[in-house]
Structure 1
Amino acid sequence: MLQGYWENWDGAANGVHPGLGWIPITDSRITGHGYNVVTAAFPVIRADGTVLWEDGMDAGVKVPTPAQVCQAKASGLTVLLSIGGAAAGIDLSSAAVADRFVATVVPILKRHNFDGIDIDIETGLTGSGNINQLSPSQANLIRIIDGVLAQMPAGFGLTMAPETAYVTGGSVTYGSIWGAYLPIVKKYADNGRLWWLNMQYYNGSMYGCAGDSYPAGTVQGFTVQTQCLNNGLTVQGVTIRVPYDKQVPGLPAQPGAGGGYMGPALVGQAWNSVPGLKGLMTWSVNWDGSKGWTFGDTVRGLQGR
C-alpha cells in the first residue's frame, strides 16, 4: 500500500510548495500515481477539545463533503482522518477535554464516512519515566482512542504517526517525549486494533533497539529502526513489537517536505532492505504532486502495481 497525507489548505498559495496547492480528495491523480490510502489533515481542535471539520475553520481551508469522501472511497481509496499535526494540539492533561474531543469528533467521523482515525499528536504527550505507569497525558490519549473506537463500527481503523523520538527514542531513555507513544502502541498492537504504525522517519534521528542512532534519510537507519520494532523493543522489561506487516514507515515525498529526504534510488534500497513491509507513507500527496509525483510513481513501481 501507499499512503499519503492530504492537505486541507493551499500549500501553493502560501508559497510552501508552489507547484501544486489544494486539490480535491477525489482528484484522479492521487490514485493514478499509486496512492490507495489518503489521510486527511487536520481538523481544528479548540482549547476545550471541540473538534471542527468545515470549510473556513482556518484560513484558506476546504474540506471534502461526505459525498466526496464516498466518491474517493469508490475510486479505491481508504480515507482516514488525522488528528493533531504540528499545529493542532490537544490538552492531554484534562479528561474533560478528552471527553469533549470524543463527543465532537465521532459525529464528524460518522457523517463524513471516514474509514478510520489517525493519531498524529505531536505536542503534550509525555511519559512518566516508568513505562508500567501511565502519565496523565498517556491515559487521556488512551481515553480518546477508546472513546472513539467504542462508538464506531467494529471494522473502523486506527493508525498512529508518531515522530521517532516518541517510539524508538525510548531505547535511549524513557521519559518526557522519549518513548511516550510506546505504551499506547503496545496496547493497540497487542489487542489487534492497530491497523498499522506510520512512524515518521524524518525530522529527527532514527534509533535501533540498543539506543544506537542514525541520521534521517539513511538506508541503514531505515533498516535498523524497522527491524527493531519487528523484533521487539524492550524498555524497562516491557517489550513492544510491531511486525513488518503492521509497519508503514513515513518518508518525505519531495525535497523540502521534511528532513531526511530520500530520492527514488534510496527509497528503493530502503524498501528492498526490509521484506514484508505493509507499505510506505508520505508527507504529502500535495508535496508529491508539486514536483511531478515521483514518490508515488517510485513506490508504485517497487510494489509492482
Structure 2
Amino acid sequence: MAAHPVPRTPASHGRRALFRGPHRRRTIAALVTALALPSAALAVLPPGASAAVAPASHTAASPTGARGSAAADLPAHALVGYLHASFANGSGYVPLADVPDSWDVIDLAFGEPTSATSGEIHFTRCPTTECPNAESDADFKAAVKAKQAEGKKVLISIGGANGQVQLTTTAARDAFVSSVSDIIDTWGLDGLDIDFEGHSLSLDAGDTDFKNPTTPVVVNLISALKTLKAKYGSGFVLTMAPETFFVQLGHQFYGGGSGGADPRAGAYLPVIHALRDDLTLLHVQDYNSGPIMGLDGQYHTMGGADFHIAMTDMLLTGFPVAGDKDNVFPALSPSQVAIGLPASGNAGGGYTTPADVDTALDCLTRKTGCGSYTPHGTWPDLRGLMTWSVNWDKFGGWEFQKNFDQWRSQNG
C-alpha cells in the first residue's frame, strides 16, 4: 500500500497491493520477527525453533472486553472488508452500492493525514481520472444510508501504509478528533477503523508498562479515541487492524525495553488495552508477517491454518508481555475478535486457501480438526473474518466471500 519507502520492520501490509498510480506495491513480507530480535537472540532463535520465553503451559484467562451495542448490532459471525474508496490500484473500483450484502462492515480506505504529525485527517474520494466508474458524492452518501438501512456498518479507515499518523502533541490530538468527526458527519458514517502502520506507533525509552503508557503518540491516540467514543455514544463502531508486529510480537518483545528490540514491537497493546471496553472489533492482519511465536513456544508462519489459530488463541487466551508471566495482556471477548486475511494472492503475502480458512474457524469455534496447534479454549462466538479487500475479492471472483458465506450458513 505504500507509495514511499517502507520501514525496515514491520513489513507494510499488502492491503494496497499491487499498484497505486505509478507506484508498484510490494507484496513480499519481511521477516519482521527476526528483525525485531535483539542481536544476541538471533543466533539462538531461528524460525521454527522453540523459545524458552514462552510459558510451558498457559491457562485461558477470562475476557475483559466490552460487548456494547455496536457489537450487538453485528451478526453472530460477521464479514469485514476494506473498500478502495480513494484509489483503484489495479483491482478496479467498486461503487459502494455494488458491494454484496454478505459484507457486514465496510471500511472505507483511507483517510490520510495532511502530514505525519499534524493530526489533521482528510478523506478524498477516488477521482474519475483514476476511477472512471466512481459514483458522485450524492450517490455515495445515498449508498451509505442504504447500507445502514440494511444493518451494515460503514466506517472510515484511518492510516494504511501511506498514512503515517503520529499524535505527538495535544494539538495534534485535538486536530485528529475534529477532522475525523468532520469526515464521519459529512458522509454519515458509523464509526472509525484505526489502521496505523509503519512508524505511527512506537514506545519511548522507559515506557514498559502496557497498562500505564507514557509515550505521547500512544497516550494522545487513546485520549482521541475515547473522546470520539464519548461524543458519538454507545452506537459508535470502533475497530482496529494492527499488524502482528504491533500485537502478538509483544509476547516476546515490548518496545525498546526488551534488550534493544524495535521500539514499535507490541506498541498497539496499550491502545487495545485502554480501549477494550469501547472496542467493537480487533482484526489483526494475519498476513505480510514474519514468523511469530505462539503460546506453545514455537514460531508460526503465515499462510496456513496453524498461524491463524495460534495468533487468535493469543488474543482470546491472553499472553505474557515480553515473556513476563506476571505481566499478562488480558484476553479479549471472542465477539470482539475477527481474523484478518488477504482475499487473494494479489492482495498480500500470506494468502490462505479456503480449506485452511475453514480449518482455522472450525478449530477456534468448535475445536475440531485443529491440526498441530491446539488452542487453549473453544470460542463459538468468534466474530468472523476481515479481508483486504472487497475489491481484490471481486477481482478474484468473490472466492473469500463465497467461502465465508458457506461456512457461516453451516455454523449459524
Q: TM-score, normalised by structure 2?
A: 0.67
Inter-CA distance 274–94: structure 2 relative to 1 (3 Å threshold): same
- Take 2:309 and 2:278, find their aligned partners in 1: how far apart are those partners? 25
Residue 204 of structure 1: aligned partner: 289
Report the secondary structure of 2:94's partner residue.
coil
Deviation at 1:89, TM superposition (A): 1.5
What secondary structure is seen at the aligned counterpart in 1 of 2:97? coil
1:85-100 matched pairs, under 5 angstroms: 85-100=160-175
The residue correspondences of 1:1-305 to structure 2 (distance < 5 A) are 1-11=78-88, 14=89, 16-17=90-91, 21-27=92-98, 29-31=99-101, 34-47=102-115, 48-55=118-125, 60=130, 65-122=140-197, 123-128=199-204, 129-131=207-209, 132-175=212-255, 176-189=263-276, 192-205=277-290, 206-209=292-295, 212-235=298-321, 236=324, 237-275=327-365, 276=380, 277-304=382-409
Higher Rg of the two aligned structures: 2
Supply the distance in 2 between the matched residues of 1:157 and 1:211 (Cα, whole angstroms).
35
Which structure 1 residue ranges, 4+ long, deviate > 3 Å from structure 2? 54-65, 209-212
The secondary structure found in structure 2 opposite 1:133 is coil
1:88 deviation in Å?
A: 1.1
Shift, 1:69, TM fit? 0.8
Q: Secondary structure at the match of 2:154?
A: strand
Greater alpha carbon shift after TM alignment, 52-61 vs 175-184: 52-61
Cα pair distance change 1:304/1:85, threshold 3 Å: same
CA contact (8 A) 2:177 2:227 kept: yes
Aligned residues: 294
- Give the counterpart letter for 1:23 in structure 2: V
Amino acid at match of 1:38: I
Q: Is the 8 A contact 1:38 1:79 kept in 2?
A: yes
Identity of aligned residues (%): 34
SS in 2 for 1:203: coil
- 1:49 alignment partner, SS class: coil
Which letter does structure 1 place at the counterpart of 2:278?
R
Q: SS where residue 265 of structure 2 aligns? A: coil
CA-to-partner distance for each residue in 1:3-35, whole Å, 9 max, x for gaps?
100001453xx4x33xxx1111111x521xx21
CA distance in structure 1 between the partners assigned to 2:296 and 2:272 by the alignment = 19
Question: 126-135 vs 197-206, which deviates more?
Answer: 126-135
**AA aligned opposite 2:340:** G
1:44 positional shift? 2.7
| Amino acid in the other structure paired with 1:75 | E
Amino acid at match of 1:22: Y
Q: Give how far 1:58 is off.
A: 11
- Give SS of 1:179's match: coil
Summarize deviations over 1:181-235 as a string: whole Å, max 9, x none.
111111121xx21111110000103442366421111211211111121111122
* Distance apart, 1:77 and its partner CA: 1.9
Where structure 1 has 5 or more consecutive residues not aligned to the other structure, the ranges are: none
Contact 1:125–1:177 at 8 Å: present in 2 too?
yes
Contact 1:207/1:221, CA 8 A, preserved across alignment = no
* Alpha-carbon shift at residue 56 of structure 1 (Å): 5.7
Report the alpha carbon displacement of residue 165 of structure 1 after superposing the two structures with TM. Answer: 0.8
TM-score calculated relative to the size of structure 1: 0.89
8 Å CA contact 1:130–1:174 kept in 2: the answer is yes
Distance in structure 2 (CA, Å) of the matches to 1:57 and 1:88: 18
**Deviation per residue, 1:85-142 (Å, 9 max, x gap):** 1111212222211211111110221232211211111132012440243311111211
Q: Distance in 2 between matches of 1:42 and 1:58?
A: 17
Instruction: Give distance in 2, aligned partners of 1:66 and 1:299.
Output: 28
- What SS is found at the alignment partner of 2:397? coil
CA distance in 2, matches of 1:212, 1:127: 26
